[in-house]
Amino acid sequence: MATYVLIPGACHGAWCFDDLAAALRTRGHRVLAYTLTGVAERAHLAHAGVNLDTHITDVVSAVTADTDDRNLVLVGHSYGGMVITGVADRMADRVDALVYLDALVPRDGESCWQLVNDEEREWYLGVDDTGYGVPPMPFFDPRATAHPLASFLQRINLDGDVNRFRRRDFVYALQWPGDSPLRPSYERVRDDPNWAVHELDGAHNLMRDNPDDLLRILLAAAAH
């Protein structure tokens, strides 16, 4: 049995993983899915100081409180790739595998802003009246809320490389309407023999568009 830690992307809460979490639990695994500070049902905690470090600390603190398991499989969707990278760095002795679900793969000193394309940066800059909330895109889940701008801008601080973990998977969505902002991350790992790279039919929300193949990949990531 593995323990999966599921981290959503920008503007979304843990509820975006409900069906996936249920499928993993049906197969005997433990699932911990977290909503980040200032987002979705935790939107009331938003303020200008909520940044990437806040979100990494969210997950480290929650996992530490919820389990002492040492075979964690961290799964990050989209922006969640930034978070799981930081979490893995801080909890390296407890992480077994990482799955980047159409997600950002940062190196030390890089920010989300640096890793995406110009179209995505344009979205980040369209903040709401608070001056620090990036509104959800029109096609997002109706439960989505604004996302803290500072989390997109802050550079990540890492002590080690993700290649130290037993397994790393990257899952790339093939049906973005234009150029995918995750393409640079995909191209970073595509030809790296240390990574298992998957290309799936479906738009960015692969939990909805291709749940069967995604479940298969997650189960394989935990297998020894």
CA distances from 112 to 34, 142, 153, 154, 213 (A): 20, 24, 6, 8, 27
The single residue of 78, 151, 180, 185 carrying the catalytic annotation is: 78
Round to whole Å and give the CA distance between 203 and 200: 9
Residue type, 185: S
Look up residue 126 and give its DSSP letter: -
Round to whole Å and give the CA distance between 69 and 95: 9
- Give yes or no: 185 in active site: no
Round to whole Å and give the CA distance between 193 and 106: 18
Three-class SS of residue 112? helix
- Element holding 169 (H helix, E strand): strand 167-173
Distance from CA of residue 163 to its chain's centroid?
Answer: 17
Structure token pair of residue 176: 């973005």
Cα dihedral 215, 4, 136, 183, rounded to 10, equals: -60
| Residues designated as active site | 78
